[in-house]
Chains A and B, each alone.
Chain A
Amino acid sequence: MTAKTFIVGGGVAIALVVLYLDQRGIRAELTALRAELPKAGSERAEHGRAERREVVWLGPPAPVEPSPTGSRDEAAAPSEPTPQPVAQPKPLETPIEQFALVHDTLEQKFGSQANDGGWAMDARRSVETKLADLPVASRLGSIECRSTLCRVETIHDRYSDARDFTSRLASLDRRPWNGGFYTGPISEDPQNGAVTFVTYLVREGMELPDIPDRGDDAPASR
C-alpha cells in the first residue's frame, strides 16, 4: 500500500512539474509574440496592405477585477483615482477583409493547378447548368475549373442576395455541387452596393484545402 501511494504521489508530482514547465513555456511564447506585434504591423503596412483593424474587447462597465492583461499594464502606470480610460471599440473587419486570407490562400492554390482537361470541362458545364436558375438579383460571372478546384464568380445586387446564394450552396438538398466549398466577397461596388463573390468548389472526393490559422484576434472561448 505504501509503495502504491508512493508511485501515485510521484505521478502527481511529475504531472505538476510538467504542467508548470508547460505554462512557463506558454508565457515565454506569449511574451515573444507580444514583442513581435508592432514589428509585424509595420511590416504589413510597408507591404501596402491595409493593417488589420484590431478588435477591442470592452470589459464590464464596473469591473470587479481587472483582466490579467489589464493588471500588467496598470501595474506599470501610476494608480489614479480618476475614472479609468475606456477602450474605444474599433470597427470590426468587413466581410471582404474577413475573407482575405481564405481568398489569398485559395487563389494561390488555384493558380498553381494545372488544367485537368476532362474533369475541368465537365465540372464547368455542370456548374453552369446548376447555377443557370439564379434569381434576377444574382448573376453568374466567370467559371473556371482546373484539377481539383473550380473558381466561380457571382455578382449580387446586395449582401442579402449573396446570402441567399450561399444558403443554397450549403443546403443539403439544394446543393448545386456534391463537394466542399469556400465562398466569400472579394469586392463591393461603392456606387450601387453590388458585391462580387468568389466561390471555390472542391472536386468531389477531395478534402477542403487547409487554410492557415490567422492566430490573431480570434476569440479564445475555450
Chain B
Amino acid sequence: MFKISMSSVAGACAVAMCLLSSGVSHAGAPGATGFAFPFTDQTCFAFAEAAAVVNNCSTQKEWIVSDTITQAGNHSILVTGFRPNGGQLTCSACAATKEGMVANCTVPVSLSTVDSHTQFSIGTVNVPAFGSLYVECGLSTGARFDSVSF
C-alpha cells in the first residue's frame, strides 16, 4: 500500500515537473470575484455553487471580472458560462492602461451553446505595460458567469 502511494506521488511529481519545464502558465478567476456594472445592479446577481454568479433579474445585466495579476502583452481570454434556451451570454475583454483608461477591447462574443456549461473564446487583448485587463459580460435572466481564464 505504502509503495503504491509513493509511486503515485512520484508519478504526479514527474507530471508536474514536466508541465513546469514546458512553460505552461495559466491564470483564472471565478465569476463570483467580479461585480455588477453599474454597481446598483449588484442585487440582481446571486452566487451559484459559491464561485459562479447568475442573473436573477428580468432584464439583461452586466457583470465584470478583472485579472489581478496581469502580465503585459497579448492575452487570449476564455470564458466559461451558461445560458438557458432563449437567453443570452455575451462577453468582451478589454485591456486598460496603468492610468485606468481603456486601451483595446475585443468584439463582443455570444455563447452559442444552450443549457450547458461551456467554455468559449472571446479573443485576444493586448495589455499595455503595467496595465490590466477585465472581462465584461451581459447576462440575460438565468444566464451564468462561471469563470474566466486569462
A and B bind = yes
- When distances are taken between beta carbons in the complex, the residues of chain B under 8 Å from A15 are 13-14, 17-18, 21
Q: Which of B52-101 contact A (CB under 8 A)?
A: 62, 69-74, 90, 92, 94, 97-101
| Stretch in contact with the other chain, from B42-50, B111-119, B123-131, B141-149 | B123-131
Which residue in A12, A166, A172, A210 is a CB contact (below 8 Å) of B90? A172
B69:A170 contact, CB within 8 angstroms? no
A173:B102 contact, CB within 8 angstroms? no
What is the size category of the interface that chain A forms with chain B? 35 or more
Which residue in A18, A181, A218 is a CB contact (below 8 Å) of B21? A18
B101:A11 contact, CB within 8 angstroms? no
- When distances are taken between beta carbons in the complex, the residues of chain B under 8 Å from A214 are 72-73, 129
Bound complex: CA of A115 vs CA of B94, how far in Å?
28
B20:A92 contact, CB within 8 angstroms? no
B104:A19 contact, CB within 8 angstroms? no
A1:B92 contact, CB within 8 angstroms? no
- When distances are taken between beta carbons in the complex, the residues of chain A under 8 Å from B23 are 22
Q: In this assembly, does A122 line the interface, its C-beta being within 8 Å of a C-beta of chain B?
A: no
Bound complex: CA of A204 vs CA of B92, how far in Å?
13
- When distances are taken between beta carbons in the complex, the residues of chain B under 8 Å from A99 are 103, 128
Bound complex: CA of A178 vs CA of B92, how far in Å?
11
B3:A218 contact, CB within 8 angstroms? no
Give A94's nearest chain B residue, CB to CB.
B99
Main secondary structure of the interface of B (DSSP, over half): mixed
Give A206's nearest chain B residue, CB to CB.
B107
- When distances are taken between beta carbons in the complex, the residues of chain B under 8 Å from A12 are 10, 13-14, 17
Return A80 CB to nearest CB of chain B, in Å.
33
- When distances are taken between beta carbons in the complex, the residues of chain B under 8 Å from A181 are 104-105
- When distances are taken between beta carbons in the complex, the residues of chain A under 8 Å from B17 are 12, 15-16, 18-19
B129:A217 contact, CB within 8 angstroms? yes
Per-residue CB contact flags for chain A residues 68-109 toward chain B (1 = under 8 Å, else 0) read 000000000000000000000000110100110010000000
Return B112 CB to nearest CB of chain A, in Å.
15
Return A52 CB to nearest CB of chain B, in Å.
10
- When distances are taken between beta carbons in the complex, the residues of chain B under 8 Å from A202 are 107
A211:B126 contact, CB within 8 angstroms? yes
B21:A173 contact, CB within 8 angstroms? no
Per-residue CB contact flags for chain A residues 1-14 toward chain B (1 = under 8 Å, else 0) read 10011001101101
Which residue in B3, B11, B104 is a CB contact (below 8 Å) of A1? B3
A5:B129 contact, CB within 8 angstroms? no
B123:A208 contact, CB within 8 angstroms? yes
- When distances are taken between beta carbons in the complex, the residues of chain A under 8 Å from B104 are 102, 180-183, 208
Can you list 25 contacts pairing A with B, beta carbon distance less than 8 Å?
A: A1-B3, A1-B7, A4-B7, A12-B14, A15-B13, A15-B18, A19-B17, A22-B21, A92-B98, A95-B99, A98-B128, A99-B128, A163-B101, A172-B108, A172-B136, A172-B138, A175-B108, A179-B107, A180-B106, A205-B107, A214-B72, A216-B129, A218-B129, A221-B69, A222-B69
